[in-house]
Structure 1
Amino acid sequence: MTEERKKFVLLGFFLVMALLLIYVTNTESSYQKEIRENPGKTICKYVARNHYAKTTNPVVKYYAAGKLYISEGYGGYDEGSIDDFYELKYSTIDPNKIEIDFSKKVKDTTLTHELDRKLQFKYWFYHEH
């Protein structure tokens, strides 16, 4: 490979990486912007952890806009405990877009019992969702 060809390949590689970085940064900020501009608030139950090669993602269940959601890919910082309840912000346009605040544990037993009841299979079998 000639020296000129190597420079061209290297320049192409850096250009692709720069475009990818801009795309990822813009996507993340638009994700958070959508939650901020169309806020919904509820609680979630931390039910499991997905372990990957270098990360661990929390699995949470929550009820928003009259529907049950299970988020297995939330990439937020995880310092929560399984079976605990936390505050969750979501986009009212797309309730799959969420932010969980693991520093805000929900201790209101009325709210936690209500969510637990909704998460039970019997509730989803007999109620429209």
Structure 2
Amino acid sequence: MYDPEKSRARRIKLGMTVAELAKRAGVSERSTFRYEAGEAVPSVDKFVRIAAALHVPFSSLLRQGEDNTDVYAALFGAEMARRRNASAHIISTDADARQAVEIDQLVTGIRRVQKGAGHVS
């Protein structure tokens, strides 16, 4: 799951205020503060936007040693929906490009696991 300490440390390393991060991620300042304080957990969509605003892959903001299957499953579902609904996807920033590559790698990995378990033909 989301690690607020990693997010806060990265924000500080970049010299960003909570308000700047909130604006760049498109999240309210109050919510951003609550996420960093560990008082709330961002939705997967907000989590990915925060990671992009911090210029890191979302996986770098996950707690290590925990089962993060739920996060990956939600991202996989969101990416599949995006691919079904989008006629064209425009990558507007380097962070978007990194996120797209990371999600593509995730999708490929999940398909391999499913194929090995006999779920995908």
TM-score (norm 1): 0.21
Higher strand share: 1
Which structure has the larger Rg over C-alpha atoms? 1
Higher helix share: 2
Higher relative contact order (CA 8 A, sep 6+): 2
TM-score (norm 2): 0.23
